[in-house]
Amino acid sequence: MPDSVHPLSNALEDCLEAMLELQDLCGTIRITDIAARLSIAKPTATQAVARLKELGLARQETYGHVELSAEGHERASSVRHRHRLLRIFLSEVLGADAETADREACAMEHALGSETIARIEAFTAGFTKRTSRQDRGPQ
By beta-carbon proximity to its own copies, the closer residue of 25 and 118 is 118
Q: Go through 27-52 and write b for each residue having 16 or more CB atoms within 10 A of its CB, e for each that does not.
A: eebebebbbebbebeeebbeebbeeb
42 binds its own copies (CB under 8 A): no
* Least separation in angstroms between CB 107 and DNA: 12
Q: Which residue, 87, 76, 26, is CA-closest to 48?
A: 76
Among the candidate windows 43-51, 57-65, 110-118, 131-139, which touches its own copies by CB under 8 A?
A: 110-118
By beta-carbon proximity to its own copies, the closer residue of 71 and 92 is 92
Measured over the CA atoms of residue 86, residue 92, residue 96 and residue 102, the dihedral's sign is positive
Residues within the interface to DNA (CB under 7 A): 9-12, 30-33, 39-44, 46-49, 51, 60, 62-63, 65
* Least separation in angstroms between CB 111 and its own copies: 4
